[in-house]
Amino acid sequence: EDQVTQSPEALRLQEGESSSLNCSYTVSGLRGLFWYRQDPGKGPEFLFTLYSAGEEKEKERLKATLTKKESFLHITAPKPEDSATYLCAVHPNSGGSNYKLTFGKGTLLTVNP
């Protein structure tokens, strides 16, 4: 069964203090790995898709990387507005799961001013 484990569950940073969030996954094959941001009371907002090991994508202060077993979301010099829950999801490469994303439980990031 496909599994996605995110760590830490919660992370508190000071403004400007860079850090990384981890997403470890176990799938039979990977079509894609997705990162979403979720603000309280809102739906998940798409950030990145990564398809193959070694791939990297950046958006403002965020950079996502992918290996064969895990993905990292690096946050450089975060600001309070980066506070949110960050969700990782995998899209497995198996016949019965063509449309199915399996999500991790998320990392709650709080950035203090």
Partner 1 sequence: DTAVSQTPKYLVTQMGNDKSIKCEQNLGHDTMYWYKQDSKKFLKIMFSYNNKELIINETVPNRFSPKSPDKAHLNLHINSLELGDSAVYFCASSQFVLGTGTQYFGPGTRLTVL
- Rule CB under 8 A: which residues touch partner 1? 31-32, 34, 36, 41-46, 49, 51, 85, 87, 91, 93, 98-103, 105-106
Nearer to partner 1, 71 or 85 (CB): 85
Min CB(54)–partner 1 separation in Å: 17
Measured between alpha carbons, how far is 103 from 88 in angstroms, rounded to an integer?
Answer: 6
The DSSP 8-state label assigned to residue 102 in this structure reads E
Nearer to partner 1, 34 or 82 (CB): 34
Q: Beta strand 62-66 with 70-75: parallel, antiparallel or unpaired?
A: antiparallel
Nearer to partner 1, 32 or 70 (CB): 32
Measured between alpha carbons, how far is 107 from 14 in angstroms, rounded to an integer?
Answer: 16
